[in-house]
Structure 1
Amino acid sequence: MSTDPGLRRLALRTLLAAFPGSTAPQWAVDLVREGLAGYTLFGFNIIESSQVIAVTAALREARPDVLVAIDEEGGDVTRLAHATGSPYPGNAALGAVGDPALTQKVYAAIGYELAAQGVNLNLAPTVDVNTADENPIIGTRSFGADPEQVAAHAAAAVTGLQEAGIAACAKHFPGHGATVADSHLELPTVDASPEVLRARDLPPFAAVVAAGTKAIMTAHIRVPELTGDGPATFSRTVLTGLLREELGFGGAIVTDALEMKGAALAAGGTARAAVPALAAGADLLCIGADVDAALVEETAAEIANAIAAGRLPVARVEDAAARVADLAAWTSRSAPREVPTTDLGYAAARRAVQVEGSVDGLAAPLVVQIIASSTIAEGPVPWGLGPHINGTEQLRVVAGEANAAELLARAGDRPIVVVGRHAHRVPAARALIEELAARHPVTVVEMGWPSHWRPAGARAFVTTYGASLANGRAAAEVLGLA
């Protein structure tokens, strides 16, 4: 079936695509002129500030109201600072501080930085209530495990971003915090009743709606009592019934990336996921990161052909495109411009650090960083104490390959500082730390989501609630090593 040009243009108005490289290719600029809603920038698009400004300017020259989105959460998920780590703490650290006014200031600073580089839609904040300690994808991206606490910080984050002129997109509706699987890789199931969701997961979303968030992102999670066998992204009960009608949200509903397995596998491919998402009530479809012109055209064709065949009401797509246009119009308003203060981020991270035990007498220790993998959402961003301590020996080890006796011999009379990230989840890491602590003065620095595990014999346990550049500097200062 050939694609009707008018329907193709309508479909393009609902799509948030991506492109490779550090400049916008001609096809990407052409699609903006033809009506494409916009693009998401990823770490592979970003080298430095002036280059990002050139990219966003090129897109805006093609059409002034183009949406330029990014996942800039601060903390462990950063795109602007993917080469160094974010100068801001993430949500877990801000939640640990417990000061919503500080959260608002941090997100305003992030917003001003985005605005200065031509970005106008931040796919943040994450407002999931992280009730599963072993959650592999949310964790430190969450403000905490208490719905009221998360709600207060979620509203503050939205307010901060939007006072800087950046549209906020709170995520992941109806709540990804109780999962123990990653929706990038599979379709997680949250086996909870609507009543449990309303009490546990929905308060932060109600709070961001009340705060005026311009967008909310869907979750590729299955909630059997609401979504059946499919993801929330494809559920009219969730998007239209729960979010639109019950919570009264009138802004743009944005999908999580359709290339993620939680959506693509359920639909039979990335492009095919577009139609059920629109039918459910989504407005702006985030295709994903691995996108080229052919995939954009395939996705637009799926939408246009579904309309032509009567499988997708044209009025639903027109409504989606209108909401996206309203979002773009809001971002086109003139907004105040301020220079963000990175010291704000470091000071906030310092307030989050919690110390159990004593960190006295740590002059010139041996620092052992246990290598940890990153999630797809985070990407391979540097972390640890490395850039903040000078003249102190540091080793990076794989827990399962490290020899405690060799590390002890290398330390000699020096104390050992072990730096980990979700160390409690890795049996070999726990065993290594416990063996070292049983035989030597050891301080543990945990830079992931906190757990109840504490190694017997450790002289101190330091929790940073995140692994950003700011968190690393804060930990180094607390240890007296900076």
Structure 2
Amino acid sequence: MDYHWPMSESKAVIFGCAGPELSSGEAAFFADNQPWGFILFGRNIISLDQVADLTASLRDSIGRADAPVLIDQEGGRVQRFKPPLVPQYPSGADLGALYLANREAGLRATWIMSRLHAFDLFPLGITVDCLPVLDVPSPGGHEVIGSRAYGITPEVVAALGQAACEGLKAGGMLPVIKHIPGHGRAGADTHHELPHVDASRAELSARDFVPFKALAAEAMAMSAHVVFTDIDPDQPATTSRRVVEEVIRSEIGFDGLLMSDDVSMNALSGDFATRTGAIFAAGCDVTLHCNGNRAEMEAVASASPVLAADSLRRAHAVTAAFGDPDASDEAALRDEFEGLMAAS
């Protein structure tokens, strides 16, 4: 196909699709609406060859060979590719436990695991992995984060989060730091309801924001559907201009592409066009819609602008940040990783 669509005509949205193959209706919808990128879930995965065909079809539908294709492949309980297609990888908490026992072994294992994700995913046309989880759990926090976190101190989370980012980039992929500015104190699962965090801004700055400050130079971040009452008592971070401008952009210093967490999660209220409009009004660059529901996608698309100004600049910076995979030996890294985790 002749890839002719410039990114400047892309809508500021990332969409999923319904199944393991792209339907003609979905292809036409994507061609008409030109999303910036796509995201895959377990429902889209049957075999490795099938996924490679699907990612090619998604890019063909919009005529952009550089369109990012994302996935949540963390390890532990959030792993869209599962055995036997790929190994079952340990959780962030498992890596954190190794780090506490042996700092260098923990950092090395975390880097290797991300590099192995890239060995699994990059040949299939998947270019972005939505990790690391930089949330710092606190007492009373919901288990929706739980073992996904690397540790319970910001220093451990930041150190292992940096190693995870570097491993992905060594494999030609890019990371997404999440869930900015921090989900660890949330007392509810944002898939189902909206949590309110009452910690003071000073407490949040001293703990929750720290890993994000440490990794603020990364190209992409995903927002938290969490209300921080001491900063904005009325809106979750995803739809709060105050949080986006004062905390994410200013205090944390993140100037990369800010995408929303999934717009279909029940933490957000209103119809899908209203939710989408609020996300952009707050200052997010891109909205994320994951479930492949066509009616919902049509509403999200109707309220999503074409990338422009700073958002277009940040999207171009993402594309420019992709590099070629390094010369790592996959078999050797898998053996080393197995040894590191067996010793933990």
- Can you list the C-alpha shifts for 1:154-209, whole angstroms capped at 9, x where unaligned? 11111111121211101111111112210110001111111111111111111212
Equivalent residue in structure 2 for 1:29, among 14, 27, 30 = 27
Other structure's SS at 2:176 match? strand
- Can you list the C-alpha shifts for 1:344-368, whole angstroms capped at 9, x where unaligned? 554344334xxxxxxxxxxxxxxxx
Question: Where in structure 2 are the equivalents of 1:281-430 lying within 5 Å?
Answer: 281-292=283-294, 294-303=295-304, 318-331=309-322, 333-336=323-326, 340-341=330-331, 342-352=334-344
The answer on whether the counterparts of 1:169 and 1:217 sit within 8 Å (CA) in structure 2 is yes
Distance (Å, rounded) in 2 between the aligned partners of 1:196 and 1:37: 36
Superposed CA RMSD in Å reads: 2.4
Other structure's SS at 1:14 match? strand
> What corresponds to 1:18 in structure 2?
16
Question: Where in structure 2 are the equivalents of 1:59-98 lying within 5 Å?
Answer: 59-61=58-60, 62-81=63-82, 86-98=87-99
Does 1:244 find its partner at 2:249? yes
- CA distance 1:321–1:89, change in 2 (3 Å): same
Distance (Å, rounded) in 1 between the aligned partners of 2:65 and 2:29: 13
The answer on whether the counterparts of 1:274 and 1:285 sit within 8 Å (CA) in structure 2 is yes
Other structure's SS at 2:297 match? helix
Distance (Å, rounded) in 2 between the aligned partners of 1:337 and 1:30: 39
The answer on whether the counterparts of 1:227 and 1:238 sit within 8 Å (CA) in structure 2 is yes
2:56 maps to amino acid: A
The answer on whether the counterparts of 2:171 and 2:324 sit within 8 Å (CA) in structure 1 is no
- CA distance 1:85–1:335, change in 2 (3 Å): closer
Name which one, 1 or 2, has greater alpha-carbon Rg.
Answer: 1
Distance (Å, rounded) in 2 between the aligned partners of 1:113 and 1:32: 26
2:194 maps to amino acid: L
> What corresponds to 2:103 in structure 1?
none
Distance (Å, rounded) in 2 between the aligned partners of 1:340 and 1:88: 15
- CA distance 1:238–1:340, change in 2 (3 Å): farther
Alpha-carbon distance, 1:328 to partner: 3.3
> What corresponds to 2:50 in structure 1?
51
- CA distance 1:237–1:168, change in 2 (3 Å): same
Alpha-carbon distance, 1:300 to partner: 2.3
Does 1:276 find its partner at 2:278? yes
Matched residues, number? 327
Alpha-carbon distance, 1:245 to partner: 1.9
Distance (Å, rounded) in 1 between the aligned partners of 2:173 and 2:142: 29
1:18 maps to amino acid: G
Divergent runs of 4+, >6 A: 82-85
Does 1:229 find its partner at 2:234? yes
- TM-score normalised to the size of structure 2? 0.87
Other structure's SS at 1:262 match? coil
2:342 maps to amino acid: R
> What corresponds to 1:214 in structure 2?
219
Other structure's SS at 2:39 match? strand
Q: Which of 26-35 and 152-161 deviates more?
A: 26-35
Q: Which residues of structure 2 form unaligned runs of 5+?
A: 1-6, 100-105
Q: Which residues of structure 1 form unaligned runs of 5+?
A: 1-8, 305-313, 353-482
The answer on whether the counterparts of 1:125 and 1:158 sit within 8 Å (CA) in structure 2 is yes
- CA distance 1:135–1:340, change in 2 (3 Å): farther
- TM-score normalised to the size of structure 1? 0.63
Alpha-carbon distance, 1:79 to partner: 0.6
- CA distance 1:319–1:191, change in 2 (3 Å): same
